Amino acid sequence: MQIFALFMLLGFFLSWLIPETNGKTLEELSGENDEDELRRQAETNRIEREEEESRRAERRARIEAAGSRASVRSGIDTISM
């Protein structure tokens, strides 16, 4: 009987650790149908893709500029020889 009472008391006190749902459904709690969160995530993904594309374009432009400088240098080297 004492073990049963111990488990009852533990259950009573542990129930205070479980957060209140405030009348929300399971779907609301899990966030599966949270369209605002999905929109935010899609917008974040779009912004990250655009930033990555701009970084790649900048990298390509730097590489092309370095390549054109190297070809100019090689042309100067052949002229001076």
Q: How much is the average pLDDT of 44-73?
A: 87
Question: What residues contact residue 28 under an 8 Å CB cut-off, 6+ apart?
Answer: 34
Q: What does the alpha-carbon distance between residue 30 and residue 62 come to, in Å, rounded to a whole number? A: 46
Q: What is the pTM of this model?
A: 0.43
For residue 70, pLDDT beyond 70: no
Query: Could you read off the pLDDT of 11-53 as tens digits, one per residue?
Result: 998 888 887 778 888 877 777 766 777 788 889 999 999 999 9
